[in-house]
Amino acid sequence: MRDHDLELIAALVEGRLEDETEARALLESSPELLAEYEAQRLAYEALRGLGPMTLSDTERARLHRDVWTELRSDTQAQPARRPWYYTWASVAAGLFVVVGLVTVLNQNLGGGDEGVFLAADQTTALLDAPTEEGAQSDAGGGDGAAPEITDDSGDGPTATTMAASESPPVAQLSAEAENLRQGEFAGDLEPYGEDATRSSAIEACVERANLNGYEVAALLTPSEDTAVSTTIAGDELDGSTTTTVAEVTEDRLAVAVPAGADPATAPVAFVDLTTCEVVYLDE
């Protein structure tokens, strides 16, 4: 059957033809097309014969009650949970201070064994101070460094920066965000592929990250190739300790953008699919 024939049959079934001569002649010429027409007509008339469906009064009342109950609970939303990287940022800040002090002490003491022992002794005592500093930064929330994704006001997520803003992941994720905008993204742009069962879990995760109004545009699998990694507190005495995002998240990052936004200029959020936290929001 040719597309033109099928189009003609559909138009005949739906009564869209002003002149049915050609279509009728076609049906007479082919039993196969006639059977197709009969099938289409049977289904079309059955469907068109269905009356409009309306809510009952009880259902209508329930709909309004449940919608507003849910929306009211939105306005009492919980404050955003502390993202996982806050902990790492605090640890990183602490260890950087330790490393700096150890280096200074080693230099002052001539770099011998005695210096190392002194540094080791200092470590425990010195760890607390920068950690507290990091904790204060977390709690303070007024220094501009703390990410805060809330949507209570309906204004969408605010600009977010990672606490360790100089660390490689920020630059890397920012680059990935730019790649997405430029259409050069290296990750998976068909986040659900053929497996529809994944979609709900990923979308739920993004929703839990308080990214209301955002939709998943892609998935990013951190790997050695993509080099999305963060150096956490390299201890220069024992060698650098590096933890990749893949190790931290164990899985993937969801890349989400506001639904319907212009892809070239939209903010891009990266959501850790293990913790359902926003790792980074690039505006």
Could you tell me the smallest distance in angstroms from the CB atom of residue 272 to other proteins? 22
**Placement of tokens 């290296």 in the chain:** 186
| Candidate residues 136, 158, 182, 199; the one interacting with other proteins per rule CB under 8 A | 199
Q: Which of 21, 54, 124, 265 binds other proteins (CB under 8 A)?
A: 54
**How far is residue 231's CA from residue 172's CA, in Å, rounded to a whole number?**
12
Min separation Cβ 196 and other proteins, Å? 5
Q: Are 174 and 245 in contact (CB under 8 A)?
A: no
Cα angle 224, 211, 281 (rounded to 5 degrees) comes to 45
- Report how far residue 117's alpha carbon sits from residue 134's, in angstroms, rounded to the nearest whole number: 26
The SS3 call for residue 260 is coil
CA distances from 216 to 66, 125, 181, 192 (A): 27, 45, 14, 9
Contact region with other proteins (CB under 8 A), list: 37-45, 94-102, 216-224, 229-237: 37-45
Interacting residues with other proteins between 216 and 255 (CB under 8 A): none
Instruction: Report in angstroms how near the CB of residue 31 gets to other proteins at its nearest.
Output: 16
Of 30, 32, 55, 236, the one binding other proteins (CB under 8 A) is 55
Scanning residues 254 to 283, which ones bind other proteins (CB under 8 A)? 258-261
Contact 235, 241 (CB under 8 A): yes
When the beta carbons of 2 and 166 are compared against other proteins, the nearer one is: 2
Segment contacting other proteins (CB under 8 A): 41-49, 91-99, 163-171, 225-233? 41-49
3-state secondary structure of 7: helix
Smallest separation, CB 168 to other proteins (Å)? 33
Q: Which of 28, 42, 140, 227 binds other proteins (CB under 8 A)?
A: 42
> Burial letters for 86-125: b for 16+ Cβ neighbours within 10 Å, e otherwise?
bebbbbbbbbbbbbebbeebbeeeeeeeebeebbeeebee
* H helix intervals, the chain: 3-13, 21-29, 31-48, 57-75, 84-108, 113-140, 168-182, 197-208, 245-249
Instruction: State yes or no: residue 62 binds other proteins (CB under 8 A).
Output: yes
Residues that bind other proteins (CB under 8 A): 6-7, 10, 36, 38-40, 42-44, 46-50, 52-55, 59-60, 62-64, 66-67, 70-71, 74, 151, 154, 156, 196-197, 199-200, 203, 212-213, 258-261
